Amino acid sequence: MDTFTVEAVVLKTDDFGDANRVVTLFTKEFGKLEANAYGCRRARSSLSGALQMFNHISAEVSRSPKVDTIREADIINFYDALTADLERLAYASLLFEIVNRMTFPRQQELETFDLLIKALPVLSKRNPRVAALIGACQFMETSGVQLNFDRCVHCGREIDGDAAISLLDGGAVCLECVDTAQDVRPYPEALRRTFDMMLGFDWQDDTRLNFNSRQLKAAENFFIDYVQSVLGSGLHSVQFIRDFIIEVSMNV
């Protein structure tokens, strides 16, 4: 049987049967990869600790015509804080769901793998809402479906000051072209600056991020709408965030 080793992040897990799990890995070598892990939910299984969501692992996988199987897995890094804190869990899940749903199996994407590796410690230590949004914004950029934030998609003019933006047309629309665009919404300069900051964010730089909560909320709402319009359906983690986190933060 053909066996290979991968370095990966655990993107998603789904239980099946008594003790098994389908594990979706985002691997350095092959991009997204789904494999079965038999018996991994038994306490004595050597796989049980490693195959948890958000873990950075190395794994040995056997290929078969029907389904790949994880034989061994070792933890390289793990992030306790992500599962111990509901808000961190919710926002890390949001980034992971976006990556999972917007990537195709077995297409190597090193930039996406690097992004996940860099985003995990930041999600587990700093403001997870900001980190998830930056991660999603940078992921859309590397996956080639980003909106054009800086130039009018109709006339090509550089956007200066307040403008409009259209998800259907693929980005910013200057005020002179706004009548010919479809489904436009406001695109204030502050939102454009927020997107610029997010795209230019360096994960290793721990200087304070200058987002005010209104900017952040506007960017988040906008971005989630955009991702959902690309996917053509809702994100589960968004529902979770809206149902629980917002309620919790209002009660504090």
- Give contact residues for Zn ion (rule: CB under 5 A): 152, 154-155, 157, 174, 177
Residue type, 132: A
Q: How far apart are CB 162 and Zn ion at their closest, in Å?
A: 13
Q: How far apart are CB 176 and Zn ion at their closest, in Å?
A: 5
- Based on CB atoms, which residue is closest to Zn ion, 177 or 191? 177
CA distances to 24, 72, 194 from 30, rounded to whole Å, are: 12, 17, 33
Q: How far apart are CB 170 and Zn ion at their closest, in Å?
A: 13
Q: How far apart are CB 172 and Zn ion at their closest, in Å?
A: 8
Task: Label residue 183 left, alpha or beta by phi (over 0 means left) and psi (-120 to 50 means alpha).
Answer: left
- Based on CB atoms, which residue is closest to Zn ion, 86 or 155? 155
- Based on CB atoms, which residue is closest to Zn ion, 33 or 152? 152
- Based on CB atoms, which residue is closest to Zn ion, 92 or 172? 172
Q: How far apart are CB 150 and Zn ion at their closest, in Å?
A: 12
> Reduced to 3 states, what is the DSSP secondary structure of residue 206?
coil
Element holding 83 (H helix, E strand): helix 80-84
Q: Using alpha carbons only, give the angle 4, 8, 14 rounded to the nearest 5 degrees.
A: 100
Sheet with 184-187, edge to edge strand ranges: 171-173, 163-166, 184-187
- Based on CB atoms, which residue is closest to Zn ion, 177 or 224? 177
CA nearest to 141, candidates 186, 196, 94, 104: 196
